[in-house]
Amino acid sequence: MKALKDLFIEELTDMYDAEHRILKALPRLAKAATADDLKQALLLHLKETEGHIKKLQQVFQCFNEKARGRTCTSMMGLLEEGDEVATDFRSSPVINAALISAAQKVEHYEMATYGCLREWAGLLGNEEAGSLLQEILEEEMAADEKFTELARAGSNREALGEDDSGPADGAISERPGVRSSAMQR
């Protein structure tokens, strides 16, 4: 009978594949971005993603397993959609908002999976793996927050056809406790 450890390793191979796909996709998304701050944020996350792959290799080691990937069909789909919006909205003022949305879908998939993996590592009694996974999770959450910040600072307004210096009214709700969308917290 398969146990929690098997589930853990299976999800780990899923993320190992996903991170490699993200590593390949981020330069394309950065190239498609027309806002400099977004381009920089995507390239910074590319560097962090290299680190995630190294940390995942260490997590495999913690369980005496060889690092390996198993096709992550969800990430394939998310990244394919990212490429689609990058193409569909090229030369549009909506492009940066579209790329942020695509990037946040990826981050949320990563956050969900790393959250589970971290919990399971703890249940399996492997503290070292748990803290490595926590470190990755924190970088994914920080990246997600950065994308929200960039959307609110300019890309969403730009998508509405307003420039950065324009009034914030109407672009998004700034009332405390009111979220503009589920993705952009």
- By the criterion CB under 5 A, which residues form the site for Fe ion? 49, 52, 107, 110, 140
Six token digits for residue 151 = 């959307």
Q: Which is nearer to Fe ion, 21 or 52 (CB)?
A: 52
Range list of H helices, 33-171:
36-62, 73-88, 95-123, 127-150, 156-160
**CA distances (Å), 74 to each of 34, 47, 55, in order?**
27, 22, 21
For Fe ion, the closer CB: 95 or 117: 117
Using DSSP, state whether 57 is helix, strand or coil: helix
Q: How far is the CB of 154 from Fe ion (least distance, A)?
A: 21
Q: How far is the CB of 53 from Fe ion (least distance, A)?
A: 8
Residue of closest CB approach to Fe ion? 52
Instruction: Considering the complex, state which of residue 46 and residue 62 has its C-beta at the smaller distance from Fe ion.
Output: 46
Q: Least distance to Fe ion from the beta carbon of 19, Å? A: 5
Tokens at residue 100, please? 């942020």
Task: Give me the least distance between CB of 75 and Fe ion, in Å please.
Answer: 10
d(CA 167, CA 172): 11
Least Cβ distance, residue 160 to Fe ion (angstroms): 27
Q: Which C-beta is closer to Fe ion: that of 26 or that of 32?
A: 26
Indicate the residue among 51 and 170 with the shorter CB distance to Fe ion.
51
Amino acid identity of residue 24, one-letter, is: K
Alpha carbons 30 and 12: distance in angstroms, whole number: 26
